[in-house]
Chain A
Amino acid sequence: SQTIHQWPATLVQPVGSPLSLECTVEGTSNPNLYWYRQAAGRGLQLLFYSVGIGQISSEVPQNLSASRPQDRQFILSSKKLLLSDSGFYLCAWRQASSGELFFGEGSRLTVL
């Protein structure tokens, strides 16, 4: 069966520091992968999606970047965090046959 892992679960970082959030998927190959951000009490904002290794589509211009070094690994990064980067970050993969998204448990980032 397929599983998705996301870490770290919680992160508190100072403004200007770097960021790396990692997501890995098991039990499927060549999945479409997604990074979303959710502000408190709000909906999900699509940040990046990837259809294959090294293929990244960016939805929102900002100081975040994403990389997909391996088929089932998706990384969200920043060189210098801003206060506005605080939020709940969710990784997901798409099941090709159904279109259903499967989400990780999320990473809560607080930038101080």
Chain B
Amino acid sequence: SQQGEEDPQALSIQEGENATMNCSYKTSINNLQWYRQNSGRGLVHLILIRSNEREKHSGRLRVTLDTSKKSSSLLITASRAADTASYFCATDLNTGGFKTIFGAGTRLFVKA
């Protein structure tokens, strides 16, 4: 079963526009992470937000976390064609070892 669910499933925008992706999860978490995947490659970590944080920034990325709604959003500002990729949220379940569960992802296409 998946812990995180992203929406939209796919997003197509023009270069320069902002892209917002949302993630919802089901159980209590220690933290929530966002990853990026270029087609056919491994995932690359973008940003981690802890359960006691509400907002975090890294360059053009802004992540928010609402634990009461069990949701998070990733905002990419001033998008570029190179931002075209799939974006996944992931949550940790502490079960004696850490299980990191990924959502289905949002495929972002930025048109030049």
Contact = CB atoms under 8 A, between A and B. Distances in A.
Interface of A: 32, 34, 36, 41-44, 46, 49-51, 55, 57, 59, 88, 90, 92, 94, 98-106, 108
Interface string B16-44: 00000000000000110101000011111
Contacts of A98: 48
Given A43-B88, A43-B102, A44-B102, A101 B45 contact: yes
Contacts of A49: 97-99
SS class, residues of chain B in contact with chain A: strand
Contacts, number: 67
A32 B100 CA distance: 11
B42 A103 contact: yes
Given A51-B97, A92-B100, A101-B90, 12 more contacts: A32-B97, A42-B105, A46-B100, A51-B96, A94-B100, A98-B48, A100-B33, A101-B35, A101-B43, A101-B100, A104-B42, A106-B40
